[in-house]
Amino acid sequence: MQAIIYANGEFQGSCHPSDIKKEGLLIAADGGSRHWQAQKIIPDVLIGDLDSSEPDLVANWKGKGVEVIQYPADKDQTDLELALLLAQERGAEEILVYGAVGGRLDMTFGNLILLAHPQLNIPITLVCGDEEVHLLRQGDSLVVEGSPGDTLSLLPLHPEGAKVSVQGVLYPLDGEKLEFGLTRGISNQLMQDQALIKLESGLVAVIHTRNSSSGNKEVY
């Protein structure tokens, strides 16, 4: 099952109702409810402390059968963290997150590092317009499908760096180490419709910026 979460950040790019798989789990992370409202789609769950959701909208969602899970404002997790954990708990095998980037810098950065949450063990993709962010853990592989000229950046997140191989790009890597805190992995380019990334060790954020609207991805 796929879960789709709207967070309360800036919403960019296209995600039309025809793209939403209603058989999946649709979650609003507090203020992300405004994005569902803009799409004219009723989510399955609204979760968070609800300090960013209009009371009238919350009442409207409740009246339409939306499950509302409210936490106190004095909590240790962000609304998106709660939404991600809920999606995994409810059986999601993949999570797409919209509206996680933009607005406050601390929230944007926090949303990005949530990909490395120790309790989350399913593929999570942050989508921001033509950009997607994935996380690879040790032993993971990622097939990125796009178009020649798309930008592909790899950012090591582990203090000991990351040992990674990349094929199908302008600057291929073959079991080479990317050092934590350095920028060697930024601004590579797809040379064909597909790139293969294999992570031997470490933790890597993969950022794919599309120069076209085509392409999908597969994690295995």
Q: Are residues 120 and 209 in the same domain?
A: no
**Same domain (yes/no): 49, 105:** yes
Distance CA 152, CA 39 (A): 29
Q: What pTM does this model have? A: 0.84
C-alpha to C-alpha distances, 130 to 15, 74, 216, nearest whole angstrom: 11, 35, 12
The domain boundary residue, chosen from 129, 155, 173: 129
66-95 mean pLDDT = 93
Does the pLDDT of residue 15 top 80, yes or no? no
Query: Strand pairing partners for 151?
Result: 189, 209
Q: How many Cβ atoms from other residues are within 10 Å of residue 187's Cβ?
A: 13
Mean pLDDT of 99-128: 85
Statement: residue 216 has pLDDT above 50? no
Instruction: Give the pLDDT of residue 20.
Output: 66
pLDDT in tens, 144-175: 999 999 999 999 988 999 999 999 999 999 99
Write the CB contacts of 57 (distance below 8 Å, at least 6 apart in sequence): 33, 34, 37
Token pair in block for residue 66? 């939306």
pLDDT band at 217 (very low <50, low <70, confident <90, very high): very low
Residues 124 and 140 in one domain: no
Model confidence at 191, pLDDT cuts 50, 70, 90, reads: very high
Q: Two tokens at 62?
A: 């409740």
* Residue 113: partners with Cβ closer than 8 Å, 6 or more residues away: 157
Q: State which of 129, 147, 171 marks the end of a domain.
A: 129
Give the whole-angstrom CA distance, residue 63 versus residue 123. Answer: 33
Inter-residue contact 127 to 98 (CB < 8 Å)? yes
Q: Which two tokens stand for residue 129?
A: 């317009």
CATH code of the domain in which 32 resides: 3.40.50.10240
Check residues 73 and 195 and name the one with the higher pLDDT.
195
- Which residues are registered as beta bridge partners of 50? none
CB atoms closer than 10 angstroms to residue 8: 27
Do 80 and 49 share a domain, yes or no? Answer: yes
Q: Where does the pLDDT of residue 80 fall: very low under 50, low under 70, confident under 90, or very high at 90 and above?
A: very high
Q: Are residues 81 and 175 in the same domain?
A: no
Same domain, 123 and 141: no
53 shares a domain with 24: yes
Domain boundary among 114, 129, 144: 129
Overall number of domains in the chain: 2
The percent of residues in the chain predicted with pLDDT above 90, rounded, is 55
**Rounded mean pLDDT of the chain?**
87
Residues 89 and 27 in one domain: yes
> In this predicted model, what pLDDT tens digit does every residue of 36-78 receive, in sequence order?
988 888 999 999 999 888 899 999 899 999 999 999 988 889 9
**Residue 8 belongs to domain spanning:** 2-129
* Per-residue model confidence as pLDDT tens digits over 100-112: 877 778 888 888 8
pLDDT at 13: 58
